[in-house]
Chain A
Amino acid sequence: MDGLFHSQVDSHEANVVRQRVVRTIFSLMTGAALGVSGALMQSVTRNPIADPSILGVNTGASLFVVSGIAFLHISAPSQYIWLAIAGAMVTAILVYSIGSMGSGGATPLKLVLAGAATSAIFSSLVSAIMIPRTNVMDQFRFWQVGSTGSGTWDSVWTFLPFLVAGFLIAIFTAPALNAMLLGDEVAASLGVRIGFIRLLAAFGAIVLCGAATALAGPIGFVGLLATHVIRLIIGPDMRYLIPMSALAGAAVLTLSDVCGRLLGSPGELEVGVVTAFIGAPILIFITMKAKVREL
C-alpha cells in the first residue's frame, strides 16, 4: 500500500508492488480485449466456438510480429502492434474463407479445422524463424505461449488507444448485432446495414485481439470461456454481453495469471498455458452439447 500511494517510498517491497500493479492492470486490459474480441467473433461468424486462438488469429499475429523483429529489426511495441493487427487480419480472412467454403457455410468444425491447420503452419514458421536466432529466442519465448509478465507502463499506454477503439466499435455495433441474431433478413428489415456492421464488428474484434497478442503473445481460450460463462448467466443480449465479457475476460486472465505464478513458483507458468487448460474443456463441452448436424 505504501508503494502505491507514496511515490517517494523506495523500499524493495514498494518496487515489487509497483511491478505487480503494472502487471495486474496489463492483464486486466488484455483479458478484457480478448473477452470482447471473442464475443464479437462469435456473433459475427454466428458460431459458438469462435475465439481468436481457436481460429488461429493470434498465431498469425505472432508470426507477423516475430518476422518483423527478425527481418525488419523492429523493437518498439508501438510499431509491432500494427504488424500484429495486420497479421491478425490476414489470418482471419484466410481462415474464414477456407472455413466457409462448400455447402453449409462456416460450420464450427470447418472453422476449427481451418484454424488449427493455419496455426500449425504459422507456429512452425515462428519456430523456423526463431531457432537460428537464439539470442532473440529467449527474449521472445512468450510469443509461443503468451505471458503478461512483459507488461510495462509503456505497453499499457500503447495498448490503451486500441482497447478504447475496439470497445467503442463493439458497443456501437451491439444493437445491430442483436438484430442480426434474428437472422439477416429480419435485421435488414429493421434497418441494419448488415455488410457494414459485420465488417466493422470483425474489424473491432481483430484490432482487439491483434493488439493484445502484440503485447502479451498468443493467449488462448479467454474469449471462449468468458463469453460462454456470461451468456449462460445473462443470456444472448449483445448490449450486456459485450461489457460483461470484457469484465469476465479480465477476471479470467488475471486469475489465471495469479494461478500461474503460484503454481509455477519460484518461476511462473505462462498465463496462456493456464487459460488453455481451463478453457479447452469449454470447447469440449460445447461440442458435446451441439447436435451433429450443427457441426
Chain B
Amino acid sequence: METLQLIRKARSRKRRRYALLTLLLCLISFALCFLSLMLGNTIYPVQDVLRVLFGEEVKGASFAVGTIRLPRMVAGVFAGFAFGAGGYVFQTMLRNPLANPNVIGITTGSSAAAVFSILILHGSLMVTSIAAVIGGLVTVFVIYLLAKGSSFSIGRLILIGIGIQAMLNSVISYLLLIGNQHDLPAAMRWLSGSLNGLKMETLYPLLIIVILFTPILLVYGKHLEMMELGDQTATSLGVNVNKARIMLMLSSVLMIALATATTGPIAFVAFLSGPIANRIMGSGYSNIVPSGLVGVILVLAADLIGQHAFEARYPVGVITGILGAPYLLYLLVRLNRKGGL
C-alpha cells in the first residue's frame, strides 16, 4: 500500500513540476512578445502597446506596433512553435537528436518549392503554401526511400539528407539567379530565414495550420511516449504504431513546411528546441508543447538580439545559426564519446 502511495505522490509532484515549468515557459514567451512589440526605433510603454492591441487608436503607436511589429511578433511565435514542436516529433520518433528537419533537409525542400512557386509560377500565397508542403513531403519521401535500401539506419538517412540538401540548395541558388530582379528581396529570405517585412495577411495559412494540427500532435504525442519504448512494446500497449507515426509525421511536416514558407528556414530552431525542452522538463514526457514554447522563445529572443544588439540589423536566421551550430558540435562530441553514432 505504502509504495503505491509513494508512487502516486511522486507522480503528482512530477506532474505539478511539469505544469509549473510549462507555465514558466509561457510567461517567458509572453514577456518576449511584449518586448518585441515595445522595442524598436521608438520605444512604446506597455500601456500604449496594450491599448493598440485592444483596438484603440494611439497616435504613432498604432502604425508602428499594429502594422509593423505585431505581424513580426505573431510570425515569430507561430513559426517558432511549429519548428520547435515539429523538430521534437522528428527527433523523438527517429530516436536521434540529429534526425531533425534542419539536418535531413526537409526545410530545404520546402524552401526550394516555395522559391519556385514565387519566382517562376508567381503563385499566390495559397499556391506557395501548398508548394512548400508538397516540397517538404516529397523530400521526406525521397530521403526515406533512398535510405531504406537493404537495411535502414539513421546514419544513412542523415548522410543522404545532407546530400539532398546540397542539391536543393543549388536549385534554390539557380532559381534566385533566373528569377525576376523585382522578386528577389522576397526570395532572399529563403537563404537564411527572416521575420522582416511580413504582413498580417501572409500569416494566415501558418496560423490556421498550427492551430488545426497542434491538437492532433498532442493526441498522438501520448503514443509517442510509448513508441519511445520500442515499436513492439507500444503495439502491445494498444498503440496503432503505423497510424500514429504517419499522423505525427504528416502533421509535423505540414507545420514545418508552412513555417518555412512564411519565414524561411530559420536555422537550427527545429534542431535546438527539442533537446533544450528535454533538458528543462526531463525526458519521459511528451514534451511537444514545451518544445514549441522553447522554439518561440528562441525565435523571438534571436530576433530581438538581431534587431537591437548590434549596429547592423541581422536576420533572425543568422543569429540562430551562430547560436545553434556550436550546440550541434557539442552534441556531436558527446555522441561520439558515448559511441552513439
Contacts and interface: CB of A to CB of B under 8 A. Distances in A.
Interface of A: 49, 98-99, 101-104, 107-110, 112-114, 116-118, 120-121, 123-125, 127-128, 131-132, 145, 220-221, 263-264, 267-270, 273-274, 276-277, 279-281, 283-284, 287-288, 290, 292, 295
Contacts of B339: 102-104
Interface stretch (B54-62, B256-264, B306-314): B306-314
B243 interface: no
A98 B321 CA distance: 19
A280 B322 contact: no
Given A101-B333, A121-B321, A145 B173 contact: yes
B170 A274 contact: yes
B94 interface: no
A279 to B, nearest CB: 8
- Tell which of B171, B174, B337 has the most Cβ of chain A within 10 Å: B174
Contact of B267 (A49, A124, A263, A288): A124
Given A131-B312, A132-B310, A220-B166, A273 B174 contact: yes
A121 B330 CA distance: 12
Contact of A280 (B163, B324, B332, B337): B163
A131 B170 contact: no
Contacts of B171: 277
A121 B337 CA distance: 21
Contact of B336 (A98, A128, A273, A280): A98
A284 B163 contact: yes
A195 B266 CA distance: 43
Contacts of B163: 280-281, 283-284, 287
A114 B329 contact: yes
B177 A121 contact: no
Interface stretch (B19-27, B64-72, B154-162, B214-222): B154-162
A109 B159 contact: yes
A284 B146 contact: yes
A288 B156 contact: yes
Given A118-B329, A273-B173, A273-B177, 18 more contacts: A98-B332, A101-B337, A102-B335, A110-B336, A114-B332, A120-B268, A121-B325, A124-B267, A124-B318, A131-B314, A221-B166, A264-B177, A268-B177, A277-B167, A277-B171, A284-B159, A292-B155, A292-B156
* 9 smallest beta-carbon distances between A and B, as pairs: A132-B312, A124-B321, A102-B336, A121-B325, A295-B155, A101-B336, A283-B163, A280-B166, A284-B163
B338 interface: yes
Interface string B179-222: 00000000000001000000000000000000000000000000
- Tell which of A113, A220, A264, A292 has the most Cβ of chain B within 10 Å: A113
Given A104-B339, A287-B156, A287-B160, A120 B328 contact: yes
B146 A280 contact: no
Contacts of B174: 263-264, 269, 273, 277
B159 A269 contact: no
Nearest to B102: A120
Contact of A131 (B166, B318, B326, B335): B318
B229 interface: no
Given A131-B318, A288-B146, A109 B158 contact: yes
B98 interface: yes
Given A283-B163, A292-B153, A120 B332 contact: no
